[in-house]
Structure 1
Amino acid sequence: MPSTLPSEAQGWFKSSHSGGNTTECVEASRLGETTAIRDSKAMEEGSLLFRPDSWTAFVSALQGGRLR
């Protein structure tokens, strides 16, 4: 479930896989040890927040092709 990102978050950056003119864009931000992810086209929908261990597991699953 998306959550509201605390106002201290800043420095959103686009995924390196988003490309130049693509319509599929994921943005990330760091808030201490937490990683926040959002859809740049639907920022009002909130963000997903990951603790370090969850973020590592998520990235590993993506890289390993276990998520689609």
Structure 2
Amino acid sequence: MAKTTPGQFVRQVRQELSKVTWPTRKETTISTVMVFIMVTLAALFFLIVDQLLAWGVQLVFGLGG
């Protein structure tokens, strides 16, 4: 494998960065909002499942109130 000099490496990195298509501010905002929505939905789902399992365990073992 051929060794590259630090200068060649920096040139290659700049060349690759010029090929990147960066998202617009609107795309970033929409993606961020969607992530927050999905995290909230997942948290609610797991909260409900946890409560149902806790209720089931209390029912089976007669623990709690």
TM-score category by the smaller chain? under 0.3
Higher strand share goes to which structure?
A: 1
Scaled by the length of structure 2, the TM-score of the pair is: 0.28
Scaled by the length of structure 1, the TM-score of the pair is: 0.27
Q: Which has the higher contact order (CA 8 A, sep 6+)?
A: 1
